Structure formats: structure tokens, C-alpha cells
């Protein structure tokens, strides 16, 4: 019994050293960083900025792999079923938390199968329309929607994304009915909004700003608690009678079971990347707020966001098809 206890004790003591040795050797090959959105949106841009810095600091290529589809479920599921060795990562946004409630038969459990590594950035949302709509204010939109029930449309980055949730909240609070048109990411949705194929859309201010300033889009209101310092001239939705706050955040996850030391190193390198001059400048110019956090704070943030969206979805009766 004494010999058995000694052997078990030795094995237990060896486990931390084994984990440290494994992390010291990591990464041993290029890292795949899945983005469950198409190229061109804020999440893709932020991910590529951080990936470029990680490539420098880790000594291995961090390859961004865009895998849009099924409201980000497709790309996230690839990461959830990957080998837990830190060589496969996935960038997630608000939709990751939304899908926990919205999507029936989700092929993974986001809170069990994936592990938070680090937050990156956040962008405020603006509600915008194209000049051809003739709309100038939220009141104009509500009046037009009530005059033509089910005729006006709102675009989103995809079913279950923050833009979808904000649009559904707009319908519920204003007592109007519009057609939801989901896209595979913000970029194609934005193109159709500018072209007049859809009426309105909640989107990231960094991408919408130049089009609002050039007159290609009309800003109806910012989905912020108070006027944004990035767009102080635009009234908030709250000022216009709608209690809607919406934004897009993004962060990186990896497969659950990935060694602690690997996750901690990844987190440190992500936070370091957010301080790189090129990233800081790009964030400032793009109106993106840095959200550096440790894995524990990111995990708490995800749980909080999941609970928040669950309440909104259930109260407003939002479905993936709505």
C-alpha cells in the first residue's frame, strides 16, 4: 500500500510538470484561427490585426480561416470539435452567446466545449438607412412601417447576431412589423443596404461611418446609452424613445481541455498584441474600443452576455426564423 501510494503521489506531482513541458513546446505548428464570418467585417479586421502580431510573438504562423455559415455555428463547431492542444482557435462575437438560447439542437455546448482565452475589441452600433428610403428619423421609420406592415425590411449579419436581436427589439418596442433579411456577415448586408435592397440595418459604426459621412447612408440613431464621442452629432435611440443598446464585441476561444499554461500564454500574447502600435492606431482610426481581459474575466463576461440575451430573446419571442 505504501509503495502504491508513493507511485500515485509521484504521478500526481508529475502532472503539472508535464503540462508546463507541453506548453513550453507550444506552438509546434501553424495555428488555425477560425473566423465564423466572411472577410471584411469588424470581427474579421480585428482578428487579422491581432493574428499578425501573434505570428510575430509566437514564432508560428497564425492563419485566419473564414468559415461563415449558420449564424456562426458552422465555424464555432469546427473549433468545438478540434484537438485540445491550442493549435485551433476561433473568434466569436455576440452571436456566440445568443445562439446558446436561440438555436435549437446546437451541435456544441458553448459553455462546456469551448474555453475563453481573451477579449479583443468592441464597436458601437448605429441604425442606418439608404437615402432612397426618404427616412430621416426613427419616428419616420415607425410611421412608414405602420403604414406598410410587413413591407419594410431590416438586414442583419445573420440569424442570432446582435444586429438581428436589435432589429427584433426595434419591432417589439415600436409595435411594428418588418421583414428580417439575414446575411452571412456584415459586409454583404452593408452592400445591399447602400444599394437599397433592404430598408434599415443595425451595424458597426467603424464600417458605417464613411458611408454616413459621404451621404451614401443616413444615420437614424446610435444604439448607445448616451451620445457617442465617436459620433456626437447623431441622436441616440433612447433620445428618440427606444430603449435599445447594441454593439459588437469579439474575443478568442479554444477547445476545452487545452492546457492551462497554453491558455494563459495565449491570453498574455493577445493582450500584448492589443498594445502594439499598429493595432492601437487601427483601433483609434476605426472607432474600436480595446477590451483586454484575462480568461477568467472573459468567461464571466460570456456567462453574463448569455444570460442577458436569453432574457431578451424570451421576452421578445425572437426565433432564428424571425
For residue 24, name the pLDDT band (cuts at 50, 70, 90).
Answer: low
CATH H-level, domain 124-240: superfamily: Periplasmic binding protein-like II (3.40.190.10)
Residue 4, phi-psi category: left (phi > 0), alpha (psi -120 to 50), beta (remainder) = alpha
Query: Tens digits of per-residue pLDDT, 272-295?
Result: 999 999 999 999 988 899 999 999
List, for residues 46-89, the tens digit of each pLDDT value: 999 999 999 999 999 999 999 998 889 999 999 999 999 999 99
pLDDT confidence tier of residue 322, bands split at 50, 70 and 90: low
For residue 185, the 8-state DSSP code is S
Q: Counting beta carbons within 10 angstroms of the beta carbon of residue 140, is it exposed (0 to 12), middle (13 to 18) or buried (19 or more)?
A: middle
Distance CA(246)–CA(186), nearest Å, equals 15
CA distance 279 to 191: 26
pLDDT tens digits, residue range 247-266?
999 999 999 999 999 999 99
DSSP letter at 240 equals G
111 CB contacts (<8 Å, ≥6 apart)? 100, 302, 303, 306
**Percent of all residues in the chain with a pLDDT value above 90, rounded to a whole number:** 77
- Does residue 17 register a pLDDT over 60? no
- Cα separation, 202 vs 126, in Å, equals 6
Amino acid at each position: 500500500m505504501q509503495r502504491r501510494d508513493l507511485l500515485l503521489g509521484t504521478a500526481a506531482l508529475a502532472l503539472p510538470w508535464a503540462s508546463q513541458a507541453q506548453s513550453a513546446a507550444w506552438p509546434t505548428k501553424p495555428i488555425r484561427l477560425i473566423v465564423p464570418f466572411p472577410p471584411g467585417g469588424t470581427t474579421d479586421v480585428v482578428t487579422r490585426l491581432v493574428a499578425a502580431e501573434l505570428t510575430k510573438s509566437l514564432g508560428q504562423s497564425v492563419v485566419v480561416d473564414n468559415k461563415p455559415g449558420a449564424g456562426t455555428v458552422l465555424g464555432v463547431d469546427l473549433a468545438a470539435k478540434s484537438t485540445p492542444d491550442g493549435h485551433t482557435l476561433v473568434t466569436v462575437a455576440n452571436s456566440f452567446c445568443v445562439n446558446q438560447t436561440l438555436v435549437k439542437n446546437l451541435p456544441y455546448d458553448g459553455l462546456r466545449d469551448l474555453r475563453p482565452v481573451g477579449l479583443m475589441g468592441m464597436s458601437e452600433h448605429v441604425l442606418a438607412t439608404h437615402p432612397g428610403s426618404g427616412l430621416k428619423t426613427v419616428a419616420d421609420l415607425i410611421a412608414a412601417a405602420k403604414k406598410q406592415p410587413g413591407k419594410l425590411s431590416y438586414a442583419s449579419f445573420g440569424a442570432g447576431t446582435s444586429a438581428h436581436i436589435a432589429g427584433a427589439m426595434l419591432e417589439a418596442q415600436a409595435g411594428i412589423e418588418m421583414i428580417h433579411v439575414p446575411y452571412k456577415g456584415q459586409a454583404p448586408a452593408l452592400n445591399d443596404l447602400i444599394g437599397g435592397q433592404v430598408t434599415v440595418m443595425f451595424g458597426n459604426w467603424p464600417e458605417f461611418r464613411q458611408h454616413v459621412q459621404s451621404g451614401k447612408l443616413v444615420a437614424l440613431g446610435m444604439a448607445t446609452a448616451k451620445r457617442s464621442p465617436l459620433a456626437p452629432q447623431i441622436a441616440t435611440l433612447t433620445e428618440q424613445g427606444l430603449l435599445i443598446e447594441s454593439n459588437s464585441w469579439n474575443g478568442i476561444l479554444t477547445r476545452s481541455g487545452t492546457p492551462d499554461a497554453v491558455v494563459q500564454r495565449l491570453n498574455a500574447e493577445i493582450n500584448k498584441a492589443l498594445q502594439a502600435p499598429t493595432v492601437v492606431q487601427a483601433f483609434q482610426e476605426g472607432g474600436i474600443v480595446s477590451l483586454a481581459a484575462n480568461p477568467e474575466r472573459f468567461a464571466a463576461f460570456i456567462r453574463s452576455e448569455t444570460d442577458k440575451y436569453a432574457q431578451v430573446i424570451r421576452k421578445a419571442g425572437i426565433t432564428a426564423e424571425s
